[in-house]
Amino acid sequence: MRITKLGHACVRIEHDGVVVVVDPGVFTDPGAADGATAVLVTHEHPDHWTADHLRSTDAPIWTTHAVADVLAVEAPDLAERVRRITPGETFDAGLLVTAVGELHAVIHEEIPRIHNSGFLLDVGGRRIYHPGDALTLPGSEVDLLCAPVSAPWLKASEAIDFARAVGAPRNLAIHDRVYSEAGLGIVDGHMARFLDPAGQSYARIADGTDLEL
Protein backbone atom coordinates (compact mmCIF):
# COMPACT_ATOMS: atom_id res chain seq x y z
CA MET A 1 0.00 0.00 0.00
CA ARG A 2 1.15 3.54 -0.76
CA ILE A 3 -0.41 6.76 0.51
CA THR A 4 0.73 10.09 -0.89
CA LYS A 5 -0.09 13.46 0.65
CA LEU A 6 -1.06 15.95 -2.03
CA GLY A 7 -2.19 19.57 -1.75
CA HIS A 8 -4.35 20.49 1.23
CA ALA A 9 -7.00 17.80 1.82
CA CYS A 10 -6.02 15.53 -1.05
CA VAL A 11 -4.51 12.09 -0.57
CA ARG A 12 -3.76 9.36 -3.12
CA ILE A 13 -4.03 5.73 -2.00
CA GLU A 14 -2.56 2.95 -4.16
CA HIS A 15 -2.97 -0.78 -3.53
CA ASP A 16 -2.82 -3.79 -5.85
CA GLY A 17 -3.36 -1.71 -9.00
CA VAL A 18 -6.17 0.39 -7.49
CA VAL A 19 -5.61 4.15 -7.24
CA VAL A 20 -8.13 6.07 -5.12
CA VAL A 21 -7.79 9.86 -4.95
CA VAL A 22 -9.69 11.77 -2.27
CA ASP A 23 -10.58 15.48 -2.51
CA PRO A 24 -8.44 16.98 -5.30
CA GLY A 25 -9.28 20.67 -4.93
CA VAL A 26 -8.02 24.15 -5.75
CA PHE A 27 -4.97 23.82 -3.48
CA THR A 28 -3.97 20.53 -5.10
CA ASP A 29 -1.39 20.59 -7.89
CA PRO A 30 -2.37 19.45 -11.42
CA GLY A 31 -1.91 15.75 -12.01
CA ALA A 32 -3.19 14.60 -8.63
CA ALA A 33 -5.95 12.52 -10.20
CA ASP A 34 -3.94 11.23 -13.16
CA GLY A 35 -4.25 7.47 -13.38
CA ALA A 36 -6.94 7.30 -10.71
CA THR A 37 -9.30 4.33 -10.80
CA ALA A 38 -11.72 6.10 -8.43
CA VAL A 39 -12.14 9.61 -7.05
CA LEU A 40 -13.91 10.36 -3.77
CA VAL A 41 -15.23 13.84 -2.99
CA THR A 42 -16.34 14.62 0.56
CA HIS A 43 -18.31 17.82 -0.07
CA GLU A 44 -18.89 20.75 -2.39
CA HIS A 45 -16.33 23.33 -1.23
CA PRO A 46 -13.77 24.11 -3.97
CA ASP A 47 -10.76 23.26 -1.81
CA HIS A 48 -12.01 19.66 -2.09
CA TRP A 49 -12.73 19.35 -5.80
CA THR A 50 -12.35 21.12 -9.12
CA ALA A 51 -13.78 20.16 -12.48
CA ASP A 52 -10.29 20.24 -14.00
CA HIS A 53 -9.03 17.61 -11.58
CA LEU A 54 -12.08 15.44 -12.17
CA ARG A 55 -11.70 15.78 -15.94
CA SER A 56 -8.08 14.59 -15.76
CA THR A 57 -9.25 11.01 -15.21
CA ASP A 58 -11.99 8.78 -16.62
CA ALA A 59 -12.55 7.21 -13.21
CA PRO A 60 -15.94 7.09 -11.48
CA ILE A 61 -16.56 9.86 -8.95
CA TRP A 62 -18.13 8.80 -5.65
CA THR A 63 -19.73 11.65 -3.72
CA THR A 64 -22.76 13.00 -1.88
CA HIS A 65 -26.07 13.83 -3.51
CA ALA A 66 -25.36 17.53 -2.90
CA VAL A 67 -22.05 17.43 -4.80
CA ALA A 68 -23.65 15.39 -7.56
CA ASP A 69 -26.30 18.08 -7.96
CA VAL A 70 -23.63 20.79 -8.17
CA LEU A 71 -21.70 18.83 -10.78
CA ALA A 72 -24.83 18.31 -12.84
CA VAL A 73 -25.10 22.09 -13.20
CA GLU A 74 -21.47 23.23 -13.23
CA ALA A 75 -19.84 20.29 -15.04
CA PRO A 76 -22.56 18.28 -16.80
CA ASP A 77 -19.95 16.42 -18.85
CA LEU A 78 -18.95 14.63 -15.65
CA ALA A 79 -22.46 13.60 -14.64
CA GLU A 80 -22.40 10.12 -16.17
CA ARG A 81 -19.38 9.19 -14.03
CA VAL A 82 -20.90 10.33 -10.74
CA ARG A 83 -21.96 7.70 -8.22
CA ARG A 84 -24.23 9.06 -5.47
CA ILE A 85 -23.67 7.78 -1.93
CA THR A 86 -25.72 7.92 1.24
CA PRO A 87 -24.58 8.10 4.89
CA GLY A 88 -23.53 4.71 6.24
CA GLU A 89 -23.35 3.09 2.80
CA THR A 90 -20.50 0.71 2.00
CA PHE A 91 -19.51 0.63 -1.65
CA ASP A 92 -16.82 -0.88 -3.86
CA ALA A 93 -14.53 1.72 -5.39
CA GLY A 94 -11.84 -0.86 -6.05
CA LEU A 95 -11.35 -0.71 -2.29
CA LEU A 96 -14.24 -1.15 0.11
CA VAL A 97 -15.30 2.29 1.33
CA THR A 98 -17.87 3.27 3.95
CA ALA A 99 -19.48 6.73 3.90
CA VAL A 100 -19.30 8.26 7.39
CA GLY A 101 -21.43 11.14 8.63
CA GLU A 102 -23.67 13.61 6.89
CA LEU A 103 -22.88 17.24 7.79
CA HIS A 104 -19.97 19.66 7.50
CA ALA A 105 -18.55 21.01 10.76
CA VAL A 106 -20.01 24.28 12.04
CA ILE A 107 -18.20 27.33 10.66
CA HIS A 108 -20.61 29.80 12.32
CA GLU A 109 -24.07 29.26 13.69
CA GLU A 110 -25.50 31.69 11.11
CA ILE A 111 -23.95 29.82 8.17
CA PRO A 112 -26.12 26.88 7.02
CA ARG A 113 -24.34 23.55 7.26
CA ILE A 114 -23.82 21.66 4.02
CA HIS A 115 -23.53 17.91 3.50
CA ASN A 116 -20.19 16.17 4.05
CA SER A 117 -19.24 12.52 3.87
CA GLY A 118 -16.13 11.12 5.46
CA PHE A 119 -14.64 8.00 3.90
CA LEU A 120 -13.41 4.92 5.75
CA LEU A 121 -11.32 2.83 3.36
CA ASP A 122 -10.30 -0.80 3.81
CA VAL A 123 -6.89 -1.10 2.17
CA GLY A 124 -5.71 -4.70 2.31
CA GLY A 125 -7.03 -5.06 5.84
CA ARG A 126 -5.73 -1.69 7.02
CA ARG A 127 -8.30 1.03 7.60
CA ILE A 128 -7.75 4.66 6.55
CA TYR A 129 -10.19 7.38 7.55
CA HIS A 130 -10.55 10.70 5.71
CA PRO A 131 -13.23 12.77 7.50
CA GLY A 132 -13.52 15.63 5.00
CA ASP A 133 -14.58 18.82 6.78
CA ALA A 134 -16.12 17.23 9.84
CA LEU A 135 -15.18 15.76 13.19
CA THR A 136 -17.47 12.74 12.89
CA LEU A 137 -16.03 9.63 14.51
CA PRO A 138 -15.65 6.62 12.18
CA GLY A 139 -17.46 4.18 14.45
CA SER A 140 -14.72 1.54 14.27
CA GLU A 141 -11.01 1.09 14.77
CA VAL A 142 -8.76 2.97 12.35
CA ASP A 143 -5.11 2.34 11.48
CA LEU A 144 -4.46 5.76 9.93
CA LEU A 145 -6.37 8.99 10.42
CA CYS A 146 -6.06 11.76 7.85
CA ALA A 147 -6.29 14.46 10.49
CA PRO A 148 -7.47 18.00 9.65
CA VAL A 149 -5.18 20.55 11.30
CA SER A 150 -6.28 23.99 10.07
CA ALA A 151 -9.66 25.34 9.02
CA PRO A 152 -12.16 28.16 9.69
CA TRP A 153 -14.23 25.54 11.53
CA LEU A 154 -11.42 24.06 13.64
CA LYS A 155 -9.53 24.92 16.84
CA ALA A 156 -6.27 23.21 17.80
CA SER A 157 -7.97 21.72 20.85
CA GLU A 158 -10.67 20.21 18.63
CA ALA A 159 -8.09 18.74 16.25
CA ILE A 160 -6.29 17.14 19.19
CA ASP A 161 -9.44 15.79 20.82
CA PHE A 162 -10.72 14.41 17.51
CA ALA A 163 -7.48 12.54 16.84
CA ARG A 164 -7.43 11.19 20.38
CA ALA A 165 -11.07 10.08 20.11
CA VAL A 166 -10.45 8.27 16.83
CA GLY A 167 -7.46 6.61 18.48
CA ALA A 168 -5.54 5.72 15.32
CA PRO A 169 -1.92 4.70 15.93
CA ARG A 170 -0.87 6.78 12.87
CA ASN A 171 -2.05 10.32 12.09
CA LEU A 172 -1.30 12.16 8.85
CA ALA A 173 -1.95 15.92 8.80
CA ILE A 174 -4.28 17.15 6.06
CA HIS A 175 -6.29 20.33 5.44
CA ASP A 176 -3.14 22.34 6.03
CA ARG A 177 -3.24 25.29 3.62
CA VAL A 178 -5.23 27.65 5.85
CA TYR A 179 -2.44 28.47 8.32
CA SER A 180 1.03 29.90 7.70
CA GLU A 181 4.01 27.61 8.15
CA ALA A 182 4.58 29.23 11.54
CA GLY A 183 1.00 28.53 12.58
CA LEU A 184 1.23 24.95 11.39
CA GLY A 185 4.41 24.51 13.40
CA ILE A 186 2.53 25.51 16.54
CA VAL A 187 -0.26 23.02 15.77
CA ASP A 188 2.30 20.30 15.02
CA GLY A 189 3.81 20.82 18.44
CA HIS A 190 0.47 20.59 20.20
CA MET A 191 -0.61 17.50 18.24
CA ALA A 192 2.60 15.66 19.04
CA ARG A 193 2.52 16.75 22.67
CA PHE A 194 -0.88 15.17 23.24
CA LEU A 195 -0.79 12.21 20.84
CA ASP A 196 2.68 10.84 21.55
CA PRO A 197 1.93 9.91 25.20
CA ALA A 198 -1.08 7.91 23.95
CA GLY A 199 1.12 5.95 21.55
CA GLN A 200 -0.30 7.79 18.53
CA SER A 201 2.27 9.05 16.04
CA TYR A 202 1.68 12.29 14.16
CA ALA A 203 3.28 13.48 10.92
CA ARG A 204 2.85 16.45 8.61
CA ILE A 205 4.70 15.75 5.38
CA ALA A 206 5.40 17.75 2.25
CA ASP A 207 3.01 17.61 -0.68
CA GLY A 208 3.97 14.88 -3.11
CA THR A 209 5.65 12.67 -0.54
CA ASP A 210 4.58 9.30 0.81
CA LEU A 211 3.88 8.28 4.37
CA GLU A 212 5.79 5.13 5.26
CA LEU A 213 3.35 2.46 6.45
Q: Residue 212: its pLDDT value, please?
A: 81
As a whole number, mean pLDDT of residues 47-53 equals 97
- State the maximum Cα–Cα separation within the chain, in Å, rounded to a whole number: 50
In a domain, 212, yes or no: no
In a domain, 151, yes or no: yes
Residue 4 CA to its chain's centroid (Å): 12
In a domain, 213, yes or no: no
Confidence band, pLDDT 50/70/90 cuts, at residue 201: very high
Is the dihedral angle over the CA atoms 97, 156, 9, 192 positive or is it negative?
negative
pLDDT in tens, 88-120: 999 999 999 999 999 999 999 999 999 999 999
Report helix, strand or coil for 93.
Answer: coil
Per the structure, the complete domain to which residue 75 belongs is given by 2-85+97-205
Q: How many domains does the chain have?
A: 1
pLDDT > 70 in the chain, percent:
100
Q: Residue 213: its pLDDT value, please?
A: 78
For residue 94, is it left (φ>0), alpha (ψ between -120 and 50) or beta? left
CATH number at residue 160: 3.60.15.10
In a domain, 211, yes or no: no
- Judged against a pLDDT cut of 90, whether residue 159 lies above it is answered with yes
- Judged against a pLDDT cut of 90, whether residue 46 lies above it is answered with yes
- The DSSP element (H or E) to which 120 belongs, if any, is strand 118-123
* β pairing state of 209-211 and 126-130: unpaired
In a domain, 91, yes or no: no
Confidence band, pLDDT 50/70/90 cuts, at residue 141: very high
Residue 141 CA to its chain's centroid (Å): 17
pLDDT, the chain, mean: 97
Confidence band, pLDDT 50/70/90 cuts, at residue 76: very high
